[in-house]
């Protein structure tokens, strides 16, 4: 492990040096390209792509690293006069340091090899000690079993079943169970009073052993007959049975020998096996030990006292262990390539250990000690091990030292070359750094200028549009109304342009963010249609929207940005389409995926207007969602899922995009040709912004275009299903779209006569939204069949202008038939047309029976209002200038007290006028401090609109102060410190405060919530927007009077 860590450290060091060199090269080479404008071109090309931004960020980070390295170089090296001497000193220090590092690595690796050698020795020594100990314990257990045999068959039976021959033969045949013993013997306990009788019975005299211990005899010189009789003593322990290998010990008194006597006395007192100290065995003259077990007359309990054991002793069984031969056999069994020296010691006397096996050898200073436990707690033994060979030369450490040294010196050479190159490039680097700072400063200044100027323009534009809206509510003639509408259109176009410029600045700075609020996608498409309805009618082109029934009614996302994408795409289509149609469709992605294989190419009869169109399937051909790897399971995108993936297509029959210009469609500030901006206007940034917004919605955008045929733009966007709060959201939208779904038309049936199936389906879609059942006929003849059928109940007939003008005589017959359908209440006939002039010409041919004209594009609210007027249903009240009836508006906020806070007098007048139109009582304050004084409880206000940017105290700070006052008073009321009657019997004060701001990014919204604001409205605002926001709170908020 140590060597691996050392190698890792060395390679990491080399890697850092190489990275330093590469970073310098990256920052050095492309700087001329950066100065010449390449960087700005790349930044522009990558504007709408997430992948392009990542590459740009990577390049900038690497360049910054290179510049930092060069800055450190200039900082520490100094001016030209001293830099050469400095880097030469640095180079010399590097070379010397590399030698030291290599030497340290060599030392670490050598230490690691020594530790591994030490671990190997410990493992080998512990293994041998464990095996010797295990085998000794096995032999000891069998010796103890033999003592039980003696007690049972010798002392327990009369006459005895064992004699010398029987014992010798049994011991010899069971010797395999005692592999470490060289022989066993049994000595009987004989008292002095029994000695004479015992000797007569045995036929030999009890011999003494101590003379043999003092004068050891050789193997061939030993004879038991020449031994002296044992001296007189109280007790004797003569050997009566012995294995043939040690039969020479028969008749010897074990109590006459010093070691044996001590061994016998400890054995009978403890009841356990005990060992003697190592001594020279008789005959063999080899080192050995004797293991002794006492043989008792009866089986004693484990808690018997020493005196009880002594009294119950019958004899002693001993096993002789030849330690030297045993260890040699063991080492022979464990022979290995790395031979070691083994020494076994008796360390009972730690200051004077007794060597039991092994010889003194010259060691290399490395040894290992393993403890041995032979079962006798009194005696201590250990095994000491050493290697026979000297440690090998650390070849790997030497090679590593050489490798690290060579690599370090090579890096020193690279450093030498690099420093020379840096010296030559220093002047150019200083110039490029200065140019970079200027470019960054210019970019920051541009962004600040755009944001500041655009914000300052929006504030007066809010006043202009607000005053124009208030002017529309006054008595104006037709000419004046036209002037006001023209001024409103121009103002809104200017606001739209300002928004695009702001979005472009946010995109370049990476600060564009999305909201996550509930919205109705169908209502948004209706609003967008109303923006372009006038232009489509002037040009006489079809403009229609179709949304699949499987699309949820309520989604969660950013409705403003979604509306902006649709508006940009439809705006381009309106500009470049003079005939035919513009058709917007919205489906779930799974619907399109499931119909790809069966969908056929559109023919002229299968389009909205009959004009040929570009194949829309080619517009999403490169989407990853439709690729083989990226195909999403349809079940995962159903309306029951949390995520809803929409696919939106905008199809037109305009002039198309030239093939050579299609590659730069999404490039900002780029248009097809120089004459386009003069003919159609525009800045050329709408599509690039749309592409960026689609990317933020985790979608994709593509297009297909054929010159002189038309174009189709398609994009996908992922939203969250808002079904959990859909009912609450619908209730909030009642005042936003009056009559969008009227119960008056529920159960009615309409007949739609249209020769084009796609257009008929669009009409059916809008009629079904207001609760009307629909039948479709392809021409007037088929329509007459439906009307004449007795089983069919038709409440109204809607005829497309194309079918009506095709055959005037048949149209007259159709009208007469409708008039006779029910003379008391004839069927209502509606003509659907694109151009007001042509439709009026068609109407003039039927004197008394005049059809009602409904101008397209169709929208649910407009269609419901037209049907109500024609059929005598709904609210018939009139209003000035085509607006909503004034009487209902006056009652919406009647009796409500609202405070408007803004430092701009025009904004105050616009907001106050808009709210007064709904019947509210409005008071104004021009600073945050005045607002705090007016909102101090108790007060009579039901809501407050607070401007964000004000001098002295901004709207955030003023709101925080108001909330602090409310919390303090609420706490004091709850604690009973002040009476609730003093504060209008309101125990929980919380006035709804809504922010008024021209900055509607997510960060501003989060700051509003942080300071406990209840919502916000964006400038320039309209009266309906102010009412919609305040109405959410006034339903449940009491009036403080």
What average pLDDT does the segment 324-332 reach? Answer: 77
Alpha carbon distances (Å) from 513 to 31, 51, 516, 557, 698: 32, 18, 10, 11, 13
pLDDT for 218: 45
Q: What DSSP line would sit under 713-780, residue for residue?
A: EEEEEEEEE-GGGHHHHHHHTTTTSTTSS-GGGTT-EEEEE-S-HHHHHHHHHHHHHTT-EEEEESSH
Tell me the C-alpha distance between 486 and 465, whole Å. 11
What average pLDDT is seen over the chain? 78
Residue 305's contacts (CB-CB under 8 Å, 6 or more residues apart) are none
Alpha carbon distances (Å) from 1035 to 133, 291, 740, 897, 974: 93, 104, 22, 14, 25
pLDDT digits (tens, 9 = 90+) for 708-719: 899 999 999 999
CA angle 680, 685, 690 (to 5 degrees): 115
- Kindly state the helix (H) or strand (E) to which residue 923 belongs, with its residue range: strand 921-925
Check whether 174 has a pLDDT greater than 60.
Answer: yes
Check whether 773 has a pLDDT greater than 80.
Answer: yes
Instruction: List the single range of 313-327, 645-659, 992-1006 with lowest mean pLDDT.
Output: 992-1006
pLDDT digits (tens, 9 = 90+) for 807-856: 888 888 888 777 776 666 667 888 898 876 555 555 554 545 678 888 88
What average pLDDT does the segment 865-884 reach? Answer: 56
For each of the domains in the chain, give its residue range(s) and CATH number, in order of start: 2-119+395-444 (no CATH), 155-386 (3.30.450.350), 513-722 (3.30.565.10), 743-871 (3.40.50.2300), 887-1034 (3.40.50.2300)
C-beta separation of 276 from 318 below 8 A: no
C-beta separation of 97 from 341 below 8 A: no
Residue 246's contacts (CB-CB under 8 Å, 6 or more residues apart) are 182, 183, 184, 185, 282, 283, 320
Residue 958's contacts (CB-CB under 8 Å, 6 or more residues apart) are 901, 928, 929, 931, 932, 946, 950
What average pLDDT does the segment 481-485 reach? Answer: 80
C-beta separation of 659 from 707 below 8 A: yes
Check whether 52 has a pLDDT greater than 90.
Answer: no
pLDDT for 521: 93
Confidence of residue 633 (pLDDT cuts 50, 70, 90): very low
Mapped onto helix, strand or coil, the DSSP state of residue 1016 is: strand
Tell me the C-alpha distance between 1007 and 902, whole Å. 18
Alpha carbon distances (Å) from 355 to 323, 453, 765: 10, 101, 108
pLDDT digits (tens, 9 = 90+) for 731-759: 444 334 434 345 678 888 899 999 899 99
**Residue, of 858 and 388, whose pLDDT is higher:** 858
C-beta separation of 857 from 536 below 8 A: yes
pLDDT for 19: 52
Instruction: List the single range of 19-23, 81-85, 743-747, 997-1001 with lowest mean pLDDT.
Output: 19-23
What average pLDDT does the segment 279-306 reach? Answer: 83
pLDDT digits (tens, 9 = 90+) for 607-628: 888 899 988 888 887 888 776 4
pLDDT over 70 percentage in the chain: 76
Check whether 82 has a pLDDT greater than 90.
Answer: no
Cα 847 from chain centroid (whole Å): 72
Tell me the C-alpha distance between 207 and 454, whole Å. 127
Check whether 954 has a pLDDT greater than 60.
Answer: yes
C-beta separation of 1001 from 506 below 8 A: yes
CA angle 467, 472, 473 (to 5 degrees): 100
Q: Kindly give the pairing relationship between strand 542-547 and strand 581-588.
A: parallel
pLDDT for 838: 53
What average pLDDT does the segment 991-1001 reach? Answer: 77
C-beta separation of 327 from 341 below 8 A: no
What average pLDDT does the segment 205-234 reach? Answer: 66
Tell me the C-alpha distance between 348 and 376, whole Å. 11
Tell me the C-alpha distance between 76 and 1007, whole Å. 45
Check whether 728 has a pLDDT greater than 70.
Answer: no
Confidence of residue 637 (pLDDT cuts 50, 70, 90): very low
What average pLDDT does the segment 25-53 reach? Answer: 43
Check whether 123 has a pLDDT greater than 70.
Answer: yes
Burial of 815 (0-12, 13-18, 19+ CB in 10 A): buried
Check whether 919 has a pLDDT greater than 80.
Answer: yes
pLDDT for 136: 84
Check whether 889 has a pLDDT greater than 90.
Answer: no
- Kindly state the helix (H) or strand (E) to which residue 130 belongs, with its residue range: helix 80-150
Mapped onto helix, strand or coil, the DSSP state of residue 63 is: helix
Burial of 377 (0-12, 13-18, 19+ CB in 10 A): exposed
pLDDT digits (tens, 9 = 90+) for 492-503: 777 777 777 777
pLDDT for 900: 93
Mapped onto helix, strand or coil, the DSSP state of residue 658 is: coil
pLDDT digits (tens, 9 = 90+) for 356-398: 888 766 555 788 899 888 888 888 989 888 888 777 778 888 8
Confidence of residue 552 (pLDDT cuts 50, 70, 90): very high
Alpha carbon distances (Å) from 333 to 327, 328, 329, 372, 593: 10, 9, 6, 19, 76
Q: Residue 904 CB: number of other CB atoms within 10 A? A: 19
Task: Please tell me what DSSP assigns to residue 151.
Answer: I
pLDDT for 56: 54
Q: What is the pTM of this model?
A: 0.52
pLDDT for 430: 82
398-413 residues labelled b (16+ CB within 10 A) or e (exposed) = eebbeebbebbeebbe
C-beta separation of 226 from 270 below 8 A: no
pLDDT for 873: 53
Q: Kindly give the pairing relationship between strand 235-236 and strand 274-275.
A: unpaired
- 161-164 long-range contacts, Cβ below 8 Å, gap at least 24? 162/241, 163/241, 164/240, 164/241, 164/242, 164/250
pLDDT digits (tens, 9 = 90+) for 90-118: 788 888 888 888 888 888 888 888 888 88
Q: What DSSP line would sit under 32-54, residue for residue?
A: HHHHTTHHHHHHHHTTT-HHHHH
Instruction: List the single range of 57-66, 358-367, 581-590 with lowest mean pLDDT.
Output: 57-66
- Kindly state the helix (H) or strand (E) to which residue 855 belongs, with its residue range: strand 852-855
pLDDT for 3: 47
Q: How many residues does the chain have?
A: 1041
Burial of 1018 (0-12, 13-18, 19+ CB in 10 A): middle
What average pLDDT does the segment 478-489 reach? Answer: 79
Check whether 890 has a pLDDT greater than 70.
Answer: no
Instruction: List the single range of 256-265, 773-782, 899-908, 983-992 with lowest mean pLDDT.
Output: 256-265
């Amino acid at each position: 492990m140590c060597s691996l860590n050392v190698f890792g450290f060395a390679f990491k060091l080399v890697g850092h040096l190489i990275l330093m060199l590469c970073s310098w090269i990256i920052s050095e080479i492309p700087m001329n390209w950066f100065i010449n404008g390449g960087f700005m071109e790349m930044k522009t090309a990558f504007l709408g792509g997430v992948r392009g931004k990542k590459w740009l960020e990577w390049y900038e980070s690497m360049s910054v690293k290179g510049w930092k390295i060069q800055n450190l170089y200039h900082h520490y090296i100094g001016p030209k006069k001293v830099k050469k001497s400095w880097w030469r000193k640095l180079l010399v220090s590097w070379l010397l340091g590399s030698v030291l590092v290599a030497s340290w690595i060599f030392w670490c690796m050598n230490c690691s090899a020594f530790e591994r050698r030490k671990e190997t020795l410990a493992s080998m020594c512990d293994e041998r000690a464990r095996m010797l100990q295990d085998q000794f314990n096995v032999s000891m257990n069998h010796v103890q079993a033999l003592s039980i045999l003696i007690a049972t068959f010798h002392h327990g039976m009369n006459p005895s079943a064992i004699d010398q021959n029987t014992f010798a033969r049994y011991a010899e045949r069971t010797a395999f169970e005692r592999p470490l013993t060289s022989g066993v013997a049994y000595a009987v306990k004989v008292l002095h009073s029994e000695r004479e009788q015992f000797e007569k019975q045995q036929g030999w005299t009890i011999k003494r052993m101590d003379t043999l211990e003092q004068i050891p005899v050789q193997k061939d010189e030993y004879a038991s007959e020449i031994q002296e009789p044992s001296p007189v003593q109280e007790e004797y322990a003569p050997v009566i049975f012995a294995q043939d290998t040690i039969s020479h010990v028969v008749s010897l008194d074990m109590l006459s020998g010093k070691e044996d006597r001590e061994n016998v006395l400890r054995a009978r007192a403890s009841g356990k096996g005990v060992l003697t100290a190592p001594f020279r065995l008789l005959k063999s003259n080899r080192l050995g030990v004797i293991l002794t077990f006492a043989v008792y007359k009866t089986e004693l309990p484990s808690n018997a006292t020493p005196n009880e054991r002594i009294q119950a002793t019958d004899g002693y069984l001993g096993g002789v262990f030849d330690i030297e031969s045993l260890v040699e056999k063991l080492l022979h069994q464990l022979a290995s390539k790395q031979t070691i020296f083994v020494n076994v010691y008796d360390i009972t006397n730690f200051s004077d250990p007794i060597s039991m096996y092994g010889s003194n050898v010259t060691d290399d200073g490395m040894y290992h000690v393993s403890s041995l436990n032979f079962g006798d707690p009194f005696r201590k033994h250990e095994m000491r091990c050493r290697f026979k060979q000297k440690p090998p030369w650390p070849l790997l450490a030497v090679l590593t030292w050489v490798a690290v040294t060579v690599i370090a010196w090579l890096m020193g050479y690279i450093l030498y070359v690099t420093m020379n190159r840096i010296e030559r490039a220093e002047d150019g680097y200083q110039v490029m750094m200065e140019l970079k700072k200027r470019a960054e400063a210019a970019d920051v200044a541009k962004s600040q200028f755009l944001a500041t100027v655009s914000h300052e323009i929006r504030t007066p534009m809010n006043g202009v549009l607000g005053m124009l809206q208030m002017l529309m509510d006054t008595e104006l003639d037709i000419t004046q109304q036209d002037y006001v509408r023209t001024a409103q259109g121009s103002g809104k176009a200017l606001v739209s342009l300002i928004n695009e410029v702001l979005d472009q600045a946010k995109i370049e700075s990476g600060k564009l963010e999305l909201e996550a609020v509930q919205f109705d996608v169908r209502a948004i498409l209706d609003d967008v249609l109303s923006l372009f309805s006038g232009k489509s009618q002037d040009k006489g082109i079809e403009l229609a929207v179709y949304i699949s029934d499987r699309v949820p009614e309520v989604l969660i996302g950013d409705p403003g940005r979604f509306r902006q994408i649709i508006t940009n795409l439809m705006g381009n289509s309106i500009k470049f389409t003079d005939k035919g149609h513009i058709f917007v469709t919205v489906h779930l992605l799974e619907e399109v995926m499931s119909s790809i294989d069966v969908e056929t190419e559109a023919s002229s009869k299968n389009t909205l207007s009959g004009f040929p169109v570009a194949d829309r399937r080619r517009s999403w051909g490169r989407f990853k969602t439709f690729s083989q790897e990226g195909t999403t399971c349809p079940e995962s995108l159903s309306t029951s899922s949390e995520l809803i993936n929409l696919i939106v297509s905008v199809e037109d029959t305009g002039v198309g995009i030239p093939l050579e210009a299609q590659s730069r469609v999404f490039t900002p500030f780029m248009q097809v040709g120089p004459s386009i901006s003069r003919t159609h206007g525009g800045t050329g940034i709408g599509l690039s912004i749309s592409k960026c917004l689609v990317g933020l919605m985790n979608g994709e955008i593509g297009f297909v275009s054929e010159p002189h045929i038309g174009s189709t733009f398609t994009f996908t966007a992922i939203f969250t299903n808002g079904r959990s709060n859909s009912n609450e959201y619908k209730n909030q939208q009642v005042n936003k779209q009056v009559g969008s779904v009227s119960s008056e038309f529920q159960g009615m049936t309409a007949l739609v006569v249209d020769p084009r199936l796609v257009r008929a389906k669009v009409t059916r879609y809008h009629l079904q939204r207001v609760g009307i059942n629909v039948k479709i006929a392809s021409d007037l003849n088929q329509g007459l069949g439906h009307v004449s059928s007795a089983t069919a109940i038709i409440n109204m007939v809607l005829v497309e202008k194309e079918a009506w003008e095709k055959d005037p005589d048949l149209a007259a017959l159709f009208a007469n038939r409708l008039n006779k359908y029910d003379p008391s209440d004839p069927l209502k006939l509606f003509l659907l047309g694109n151009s007001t002039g042509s439709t009026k010409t068609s109407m003039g041919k039927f004197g008394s029976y005049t059809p009602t004209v409904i101008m397209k594009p169709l929208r649910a609210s407009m269609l419901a209002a037209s049907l109500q007027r024609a059929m005598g249903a709904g609210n018939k009240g009139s209003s000035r200038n085509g607006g909503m009836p004034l009487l209902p508006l006056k009652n919406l906020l009647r009796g409500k007290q609202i405070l408007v806070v803004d430092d701009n007098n025009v904004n105050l007048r616009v907001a106050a006028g808009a709210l007064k139109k709904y019947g509210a009582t409005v008071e104004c304050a021009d600073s945050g401090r005045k607002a705090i004084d007016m909102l101090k409880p108790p007060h009579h206000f039901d809501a407050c609109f607070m401007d964000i940017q004000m001098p002295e105290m901004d709207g955030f700070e003023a709101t925080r102060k108001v909330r602090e006052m409310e919390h303090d008073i609420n706490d004091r009321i709850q604690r009973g410190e002040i009476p609730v009657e003093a504060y209008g019997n309101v125990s929980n004060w919380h006035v709804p405060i809504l922010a008024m701001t021209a900055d509607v990014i997510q960060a501003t919204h989060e700051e509003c919530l942080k300071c406990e604001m209840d919502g916000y409205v964006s400038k320039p605002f309209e009266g309906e927007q102010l009412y919609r926001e305040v109405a959410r709170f006034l339903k449940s908020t009491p009036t403080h009077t």
